[in-house]
Amino acid sequence: MNGIRDAGLACCGKHFPSYGNLDFLGSSLDIPMITQTLEELSLSAIVPFRNAIATGKLDAMFVGGCGISNPSMNIAHACLSDQVVDDLLRNELGFDGVAISECLEMQALSHDIGVQNGVVMAVEAGCDLVLLCRAYDVQLEAIRGLKLGLENGIITRGRVMTSLNRVVKLKSTCTSWQTALNPPGVSLLSKLRPSHLALSTKAYDDSITVIRDKDQLIPLSRSMDPDEELLLLTPLVKPSPASSLTKSLLQSKGDQSGAP
pTM for the whole structure: 0.67
Q: Is residue 162 domain-resident?
A: yes
Q: Is residue 88 domain-resident?
A: yes
How many C-beta atoms surround the C-beta of residue 245 within 10 A? 12
Q: Is residue 147 domain-resident?
A: yes
Q: Is residue 61 domain-resident?
A: yes
Q: Is residue 248 domain-resident?
A: no
Whole-number Å distance between alpha carbons of 179 and 176: 5
Residue 208's pLDDT is 63
Q: Is residue 33 domain-resident?
A: yes
> What's the number of domains the chain is made of?
1
**CATH for 31:** 3.20.20.300
Q: Is residue 45 domain-resident?
A: yes
Whole-number Å distance between alpha carbons of 72 and 35: 11
Q: What is the mean pLDDT of each run of 10 residues along the chain (260 residues)?
A: 85 88 62 86 92 95 91 89 96 96 85 90 96 90 95 95 96 84 80 90 76 66 70 61 59 59
Residue 168's pLDDT is 95
Contacts of 119 (CB under 8 A, 6+ apart): 104, 130, 142, 145, 146, 149
Which residue range forms the structural domain that includes residue 24? 1-172
Q: Helices marked H in 114-156 — which ranges?
A: 115-125, 136-151
Residue 238's pLDDT is 58
Residue 107's pLDDT is 81
Q: Is residue 64 domain-resident?
A: yes
> Cβ distance 62 to 16 under 8 Å?
yes
